[in-house]
Amino acid sequence: MEQCSRCKTTEKPLFRLKITGRLICPSCFIKYYEKKVKNTVLKYGMLKDVRKLALAVSGGKDSLALARVFLEAFPKIKFTIIHLNLGIPNYSDECQGVVERFCRENSIELILYDLKNRNGYSIYDFVDGPFSKRLCGVCGIVKRYLMNKIAFENGFDTLATGHNLDDTVEVLFNLYINGRIDEVARIRPVLSSVNPRIVKKIKPLIEMTDEEDLYYVISRKIDYASSECPLVKGSRMIKRKKLILKIEEEIPHFKYLLLKTHIKRFLPILEEYVPPPSLRECEKCGMPSVDLICSFCKLSSRIERLVESN
């Protein structure tokens, strides 16, 4: 009879962990998951010198797992949740609702930012036209910029995101095979602040898989936005994640191996080789930028013109 490999209970549901093939019950899984995240956080010194912490929470399984594991594993550390409403129909409002409920139920301060209200356009405005083929890239630029800006303007010095192992390896794989060394060097568990207007970023879930985050929110009975972003369908990111799972069928622990090799073998070399980006103030928004105008402002002015002309 099937039983939990830890406590031997035969009560359902039992999850089968892909990484070991073992069965585990929800309460043992919770202990396993929280201990593992705690280890990651301590191993990389993610909470060292943190003064004021914010969590970027989208309402999906990963970021809600992040918020909950922080409540459980680091009960003394206070944090605020920042949520961006990206204005994607039949999706963004569900996400916002989930986050609002989570914050209410757990008495967490919430900073809400509505892209359409504040900036006059939403991610949905990029669907047709010149950006239609790279929506995930556009959305990434918007989220990275705004999350940092909101955190900075509200006095946070550290921003935690829910990027997990699958997300990280998908990006790493692509950057390595294309030899994008400068970007490879920026993929880290902790990205220190290189400018007063850039807050430190930490990725406490960087060693957790998509599967583990999902089992955790199920085990903890956390209400999360279970529908996938409707714009992500058929994206390169989704295809690449599938390819990586296929590789892992042939090379056990491929994802963890790639992350470990990256952090232990390549990062120390690349850190010496890749100079920190030389930053100036964006002429439009004043935030740090490599170019005269930052990529967010470039994107914004193009989409504002498109929205106006429609």
Report the C-alpha gap between 100 and 153 in whole angstroms: 21
Does position 133 interact with a copy of itself (CB under 8 A)? The reply is no
Does position 292 interact with a copy of itself (CB under 8 A)? The reply is no
- Minimum Å gap between C-beta 276 and a copy of itself is 16
Strand partners, 16: 23
Task: Tell me the number of residues near a copy of itself by CB under 8 A.
Answer: 25
Does position 305 interact with a copy of itself (CB under 8 A)? The reply is no
Tokens of 112: 């809400």
- Give 258-264's long-range contacts (Cβ < 8 A, gap of 24+): 258/169, 258/172, 258/173, 259/165, 259/168, 259/169, 259/172, 259/206, 259/207, 262/172, 262/176, 262/184, 262/187, 263/188, 263/189
How many C-beta atoms lie closer than 10 Å to residue 5's C-beta? Answer: 16
Nearer to a copy of itself, 166 or 213 (CB): 166
Does position 266 interact with a copy of itself (CB under 8 A)? The reply is yes
Does position 279 interact with a copy of itself (CB under 8 A)? The reply is no
Does position 194 interact with a copy of itself (CB under 8 A)? The reply is no
Q: How far is CA 151 from CA 55, 81, 111, 173, 263, in A?
A: 9, 10, 9, 29, 26
Nearer to a copy of itself, 22 or 239 (CB): 239
Does position 214 interact with a copy of itself (CB under 8 A)? The reply is no
Nearer to a copy of itself, 171 or 247 (CB): 247
Question: Restricting to residues 20-39, which ones interact with a copy of itself according to CB under 8 A?
Answer: none
Among 50, 247, 285, 307, binds a copy of itself (CB under 8 A): 247
Question: CA torsion 155→185→202→150, rounded to 10°?
Answer: 30
Question: CA torsion 36→41→43→49, rounded to 10°?
Answer: -160
Nearer to a copy of itself, 18 or 298 (CB): 18
Q: Residue 161 has what DSSP assignment?
A: -
Does position 246 interact with a copy of itself (CB under 8 A)? The reply is yes
Question: Restricting to residues 65-94, which ones interact with a copy of itself according to CB under 8 A?
Answer: none
Nearer to a copy of itself, 269 or 290 (CB): 269
Pick from 203, 171, 169, 183: which is nearest to 267 by CA?
183
Q: Which residues contact 252 (CB under 8 A, 6 or more apart)?
A: none
3-class SS at 142?
helix
Does position 43 interact with a copy of itself (CB under 8 A)? The reply is no
- Minimum Å gap between C-beta 258 and a copy of itself is 6
Among 188, 254, 281, 295, binds a copy of itself (CB under 8 A): 254
Does position 19 interact with a copy of itself (CB under 8 A)? The reply is no
- Which residues would be at the binding site for a copy of itself (CB under 8 A)? 176-179, 181, 239-240, 243, 246-247, 250-251, 254, 257-258, 260-262, 264-266, 269-270, 272-273
